[in-house]
Structure 1
Amino acid sequence: MNGTAIENFVCVIFNVSFMNCTWHVGRSATEDTQYFLYWRPPKKEDVTECQDYIKDNYGRHTGCRFQNVAIENNAYFLVNGSSSEKSIQPYEKTMQLYKIEKLTPPLNVTVNCTEASHRCSIWWQPPRTSHVKRKSCFKYEIVIESKADAEKNTKPTSETKAIIEKNSYLYESFSSGKRYSIKIRATDAGFCLVSPNWGEWSTPVEFGTQQFTSTSSYMLFLIPGLAVGLILFLCMTVRAYLKKTSARVPQPRDPFRELSPVDLQTEDMNLLKKQGAEEIMDIEEVMESK
């Protein structure tokens, strides 16, 4: 009967390989009407029934959850139903799965600003997909917002760049005294099997103030240099202390050490004195014998 088939059948693929399909109960359907979804994935010959239904308050099926969905070619959907009072009209639809994909946000958004040139270089990676490998398949929308400053009584402003056909952007209105926020989303560049709808926004990345200017790059080199200098200073201090402490401890005389010039002179004087004493004794002995 007319009005018993489902209405507003919508499917969305998200997070690369998950898919949700939802529908509304037919306007003429009774409360005991139950619906069943069957689908034929791309490159498959058999029709498979939904394994994870979404239900309303009456226990009627109003949707289905899918996992591990491959975005390839077209997919066929059939929703039929049963009721004890009426015959339920079937609903059929064929979809190109890439058109219903909700693209994930661009990945690894990175901002590097230089205070002197008032520029910020921004890079990111394309969104994750299961069927698109080329970076050139995407274009991006960028929104850069200057954050509000209560002290300076400034309001937030935004700048939108809707068509960026590469995964980098040079922002040339940077001011080190402001705080900024950037978010990016992706869509089809026009010549690949990518959803024509805009994908999800990336998590806003804040940048600006001193920690994101060229000063930060200088500090990256300054901090390790200070650490090395401190370590060298501590090593020299400890070495000087150990040297001073060791000088106070009397060292045993080494009998085999080399004699210094002073020691040699002292030894020669002792030898001369000894020889002189021996000559006097010899003269006395001669005098006594005569």
Structure 2
Amino acid sequence: MGCSCVFSGMDGTAIENFVCVIFNVSFMNCTWHVGSTASGDTQYYLYWKSSRKEDFTGCQNYIKDNYGRHTGCKFQNVTIENKIADFLVNGSRSGQNIQSFKKKIFLYKIEILTPPLNITVNCTEASHSCEIRWQPPRTSHVKRHTCFKYEIVIENKVRKSVSVEKNIEGNSYIFGSFNTEKRYSVKLRATDNGCLVSPSWGEWSTPVEFGKEQFASASSYMLFLIAVLAASLVLFLFTVSIYLKKTSATVPQPRDPFRELYSTGFQTEHNHQIINHETEEIITIIEEVT
């Protein structure tokens, strides 16, 4: 990855653990640690260039620690190609000579490859096999599909078993152990296949699921829909029931003529009996007096 050099200054004041990575095709982050003997008010400045014809350019977007010291830099629109970049980090502090740090880096070696793109799975029930297809990861400097090889991981979601295949070339793979009653997921990542590509494995793709539950999902949706309709019907009937109760409470009840007649006649007859009885008692008393 190129040499790392420390130039004159007080020992232990140069930065340590300098690392750069390129990700998402054209973004680059470089980070470092403060020198082991550097004082708390030491400040560092990063400069870099990606060709001999260029002049060093200073960092425009520093990463800072809690004390405001520069501990990294963020870059955008970085072009890799087959470039070797020069990095220089100087330090400054009043009254102290800070060691400088310089490093050469092959940019393609520090790239974190994006996941493979457009992963699709086409299964054939009769042959119990699936064809998995994909496109290469995105890069700013490699256009040939043959520059990549892949690692593919297929998981049986029921048995929790995993099948791993490495160093697959091309852009397709036949999975020959497909069971129509099982559910699976597949993910891929890429690495170099003899070109100017990072030798490290790139990022994993998002798992793509396939198998039985592709059909079961429709049934699950129907069950959900039936449950929603049933709940709606219950709510409707409950609302109608409340409405009918309120309506019946405001309608006057019909009169019962037989009950009224019976109640009135009984009361009238009862009153007549009382009056007659009292009258007879008065007459009887008068006769006894006379």
Q: What TM-score, normalized to structure 2?
A: 0.69
- Is 1:206–2:215 an aligned residue pair? no
Question: Which of 175, 182, 188 does residue 178 from structure 1 map onto?
Answer: 182
Tell me if structure 2 keeps the 8 A contact 1:98–1:194: yes
> What amino acid is the match of 1:23?
W
Gaps of 5+ in 2: 1-9, 219-290
Aligned partner of residue 99 in structure 1, secondary structure = helix
Aligned partner of residue 11 in structure 2, secondary structure = coil
Distance change in 2, residues 1:165/1:29 (3 Å): same
Question: Which of 53, 58, 78 does residue 49 from structure 1 map onto?
Answer: 58
Q: Distance in 1 between matches of 2:164 and 2:202?
A: 16
Q: CA deviation at 1:114?
A: 1.0
Q: Distance in 2 between matches of 1:78 and 1:113?
A: 54
Aligned partner of residue 174 in structure 2, secondary structure = strand
Report the RMSD for the aligned CA atoms in angstroms.
Answer: 1.6
Question: Which of 25, 37, 44 does residue 35 from structure 1 map onto?
Answer: 44
Q: Hey, what does 1:111 align to over in structure 2?
A: 121
Query: What is the percentage of aligned positions where both structures have the same residue?
Result: 70
Q: Distance in 2 between matches of 1:170 and 1:108?
A: 16
Tell me if structure 1 keeps the 8 A contact 2:13–2:37: yes
- Is 1:89–2:66 an aligned residue pair? no
State the Cα deviation string for residues 13-44 of structure 1 (Å, max 9, x = none).
00000000000001001100000000012364
- Is 1:77–2:87 an aligned residue pair? yes
Tell me if structure 2 keeps the 8 A contact 1:176–1:210: no
Q: Distance in 1 between matches of 2:42 and 2:32?
A: 14
Tell me if structure 2 keeps the 8 A contact 1:136–1:165: yes
Q: What TM-score, normalized to structure 1?
A: 0.69
Q: Hey, what does 1:165 align to over in structure 2?
A: 169
Q: Distance in 1 between matches of 2:105 and 2:22?
A: 12
- Is 1:24–2:13 an aligned residue pair? no
Q: State the number of aligned residues.
A: 207
Gaps of 5+ in 1: 149-153, 217-290
Tell me if structure 1 keeps the 8 A contact 2:183–2:213: no
Q: CA deviation at 1:83?
A: 1.3
Q: Distance in 1 between matches of 2:129 and 2:97?
A: 67
Tell me if structure 2 keeps the 8 A contact 1:80–1:90: yes
Distance change in 2, residues 1:3/1:176 (3 Å): same
